[in-house]
Amino acid sequence: MELRRVVVTGIGALTPLGNNLDDYWTGLVNGVSGAAMTTSFDASKFKTRFACEIKGFDPTQHMNVKEARKLDRFAQIALVASDMAVIDAGINKDNVDIDRVGVIFASGIGGLITFQEEVTNFAKGDGTPRFNPFFIPKMILDIAAGQISMKHGFRGPNYAVVSACASSTNAIISAFDTIRLGKAEVVLTGGSEAVISEAGVGGFNAMKAMSERNDDPQTASRPYDKNRDGFVMGEAAGVLVLEEYEHAIKRGAKIYCEIAGGGATADAYHLTAPHPDGLGAKNVMFAALADAGMKPEDIHYINTHGTSTPIGDVAEAKAITQVFGEHAYSLNISSTKSMTGHCLGAAGVIEAIACIKSVIHDIVPPTINHFTDDPALDPKLNFTFNKAQERVVDAALSNTFGFGGHNACVIVKKYIP
């Protein structure tokens, strides 16, 4: 069976660097930090009092108040990002078969804010069970996929993907496979996450996973720096419109790039820590290259998982040198989490978007907040510290890894008719 080509024809993004694609990319290229003191709740008693929040987002600017109340924040931002992507792609009921348009969407956690609010309200009461009838539909993480399909009337394959912080990369790979196997012509895919709340921050603080650099939030996310002390929590939504190549050509679609391949593996090692030698990361990059039919030398840029954790950054760097050999030193590597923070289940898609823009514009966004070299890292690797770099980027690889040992990797490449 000959696999069909899959291209990207639409993009939507809500991130800590901006509430549209252009502002997001401009922020990345200019090395802007999205971190600031937390405004979503009173974090004064928490070990971490800052985050990378989406700024100035008001759901009622995009939907009426009644609709907004039926949605958790993660679904609100998912719907807004999907609207952007659909408009960008120019798809509508007149130029696509809605029975052949799917939605495969991800979240690592789902409606945690709603869960926290409902349980807290119950605990404050007299024990009589009084729950919002929308409690469950707001909370379950598949609801974003369902809401997107209902909003746009798309009746193709529809489901959610969850693999912690690898979720939206796995969703992209599932969408890619769905199209190239002929099960749909178009799939909206990506992910959203919004858990900057008492439960979210408190839970990750208890794990000692997050930075506590409250005196200087904007420099707290510092992947590959010797003095990194954990990730900075972010929130985001990103949506890609993936489309079968001939279908896109027939309707005269704008084409951003081509999806070349993807891979998924497991560390099978530890609940939260990566394999120290980067075993799973190495295997997933090899798997993605094989799926794409590409050699290591074909890749010019890697957007790393790079969360700013002491163990994870070193393990991934080891994996890169194992996969790419001498070519590793010709690559540009960067972690855009230094600017966006770690957007958990949405991290994969917004980093894939960064790769897509890099391939289009031949610019590699930087890893900001580098102050001190880490002797545990290979000094010959180019982490694109502190300043964006112009270079030819014919193909870019995006890594995402999740708690539970989930690894996912997707490769995008320049569109050539």
Residue spans of the domains in the chain: they are: 7-250, 262-413
Q: Which contiguous run of DSSP H or E holds residue 89?
A: helix 73-89
Those residues whose C-beta lies under 8 Å from the C-beta of residue 85, and which sit 6 or more positions away, are 10, 11, 12, 188, 190, 239, 240, 241
The CATH number assigned to the domain with range 7-250 reads 3.40.47.10
Do the domains spanning 7-250 and 262-413 agree at the CATH topology level? yes
15 near 365, Cβ under 8 Å? no
C-alpha 364/C-alpha 335 separation (Å) is: 10
Please tell me the distance from the alpha carbon of residue 147 to that of residue 122, in angstroms, as a whole number. Answer: 27
How many alpha carbons fall within 13 Å on the CB side of residue 219?
A: 9
Structure tokens at 283: 């295997």
**In this structure, are residues 82 and 152 in contact, taking their beta carbons and an 8 Å threshold?**
yes
Backbone angles phi, psi at 135, to 5 degrees: -50, -60
Largest Cα–Cα separation, the chain:
66
Cα separation, 229 vs 140, in Å, equals 32
DSSP-derived 3-state class of residue 3: coil
Angular region, 308: left φ>0, alpha ψ -120 to 50, beta rest: left
Contacts of 215 (CB under 8 A, 6+ apart): none
Q: Is the dihedral of CA 319, 321, 324, 329 positive or negative?
A: positive
pLDDT at 273: 84
> What are the structure tokens assigned to 285, written together?
């990059």
Q: Where are the beta strands (DSSP E) in 202-279?
A: 236-244, 257-266
What distance in Å separates the CA atoms of residue 243 and residue 256, rounded to the nearest whole number? 11
Q: What is the pLDDT of residue 199?
A: 97
Helix (H, G, I), strand (E, B) or coil at 79: helix
Distance CA 400, CA 250 (A): 33
DSSP letters of 92-143? -TTTS-GGGEEEEEE-SS-SHHHHHHHHHHHHHTTS-----TTHHHHHSTTH
Q: What is the DSSP string of 320-357?
A: HHHHHGGGGGGSEEE-THHHH-B-GGGHHHHHHHHHHH
DSSP strands (E only) in 42-83:
50-51
Stated pTM of the model: 0.98
Count of residues in the chain: 417
Give the C-alpha separation, 170 to 165, whole Å. Answer: 10
Query: Backbone phi, then psi, for 166, in 5-degree steps?
Result: -95, 0
262-413 is classed CATH 3.30.1300.10: no
State residue 108's pLDDT score.
97
pLDDT at 275: 86
**pLDDT for res 278:** 86
- 395 forms beta bridges with 413
Give the residue carrying structure tokens 């070519």.
327
Which residues are known to be catalytic?
Answer: 165, 305, 342
Contact (Cβ atoms closer than 8 angstroms) between residue 98 and residue 154: yes
CA distance 213 to 201: 14
pLDDT along the chain (417 residues), means of 10: 94 98 98 98 98 97 96 98 98 96 98 97 90 96 98 98 98 98 98 98 96 98 97 98 98 98 94 86 97 98 96 96 98 98 98 98 98 98 98 98 96 96
